[in-house]
A and B are shown apart, each in its own frame.
Chain A
Amino acid sequence: QQQVKQSPQSLIVQKGGISIINCAYENTAFDYFPWYQQFPGKGPALLIAIRPDVSEKKEGRFTISFNKSAKQFSLHIMDSQPGDSATYFCAASREDDKIIFGKGTRLHILP
């Protein structure tokens, strides 16, 4: 049973464009929704995270949009740059429990 479903599997965006990655979850007990960025040969690094009591969180060019009733959340990368090319994972967890990751989205930004 996949508790966090992520799409698309891969994404190609022109430099300066908006990259959008979507995730859906099943467990309404989840209360923490982080996004991780992973470069080849490296471990995942926390990019931005949101709690279900807010609908949007923005940090620089990165924004999480959260829809609690639809059990969906998404990552928007504004003004996408070649350096943003990486694999992105959405994730979810309950308090005091493990983090459950999506399968990842491989993002490629065209120069």
Chain B
Amino acid sequence: GAVVSQHPSRVICKSGTSVKIECRSLDFQATTMFWYRQFPKKSLMLMATSNEGSKATYEQGVEKDKFLINHASLTLSTLTVTSAHPEDSSFYICSARKLIGKETQYFGPGTRLLVL
């Protein structure tokens, strides 16, 4: 199988602080990783796509300076929510796609962010 992990699983922070979420592909190399945001009882909304070694591609309406994405290796991508505010509270989910030729995306368990 293909396992994707996220850390932390839950985080509570004060308004104005920054939070970093890690996404790792544990048993495969991922050329592309995706970050999604999900509000309660809603579907997943793609925030950005990141390819290893290059800048992330952000979806329309997603502030790249607010949500910093780094994809430094084939097994690790990070999402940093800068100067978090209560409206940033959400469930953040990453997914990873295997090397070229494979289409299936494997999802991490998600990170619950609560900004007070």
A is bound by B: no
